[in-house]
Amino acid sequence: MSAFTSSTLRVGVIAPLSWRVPPRHYGPWELVTSLMVEGLVERGVEVTLFASADSQTAGRLEAVCPRPYSEDETLDPKVWECLHISHAFEMARQGAFDIVHNHYDFLPLSYSGLVPEVPVVTTIHGFSSEKIVPVYEKYSERSNHYFVSISNADRHPRLKYAATIYHGIELEAFPFSPVADDPPYLLFFGRIHPDKGVAAAIAFARATGLPLKIAGIVQDEAYFQREVEPYLQPGRVDYLGPVGPDQRASLLGGALVLLHLIHFDEPFGLSVVESMACGTPVLAHARGSMTELIENGVNGFLMKEGADAREALAGVAALDRAVVRASVEERFSVGRMAEAYLALYRRILEPGAEGV
pLDDT at 92 > cutoff 60: yes
Quick one: pLDDT at residue 121?
A: 98
> Is residue 86 packed enough to be buried (19+ CB in 10 Å), middle (13-18) or exposed (0-12)?
middle
Residues above pLDDT 70, as percent of the chain: 97
Average pLDDT in the 88-111 region?
Answer: 97
Amino acid letter, residue 331:
R
The 99-102 sheet, strands edge to edge: 60-62, 46-50, 10-14, 99-102, 120-124, 145-149, 163-164
Mean pLDDT of the chain: 95
Q: Pick left, alpha or beta for residue 306 (phi over 0 → left; psi -120 to 50 → alpha; otherwise beta).
A: left
pLDDT at 353 > cutoff 80: no
pLDDT at 356 > cutoff 50: no
- Give me the domains of the chain, ranges plus CATH numbers: 6-168+333-349 (3.40.50.2000), 171-329 (3.40.50.2000)
What pLDDT band is residue 352 in, cutting at 50, 70 and 90? low
Length in residues, the chain: 356
CA distance 327 to 171: 12
Distances in whole angstroms, Cα of residue 309 to Cα of each of 35, 282, 317, 319: 36, 13, 12, 16
Quick one: pLDDT at residue 189?
A: 97
pTM over 0.85: yes
Q: Considering only CA atoms, which of 203, 167, 215 is closest in space to residue 307?
A: 203
Alpha helices by DSSP H, 43-145: 77-93, 133-140
Average pLDDT in the 259-278 region?
Answer: 97
Q: Considering only CA atoms, which of 165, 170, 61, 82 is closest in space to residue 122?
A: 165
Residue 17 or 141, more confident: 17
3-state class (DSSP) for residue 297 = coil
What pLDDT band is residue 3 in, cutting at 50, 70 and 90? low
Residues above pLDDT 90, as percent of the chain: 91
Average pLDDT in the 270-295 region?
Answer: 97
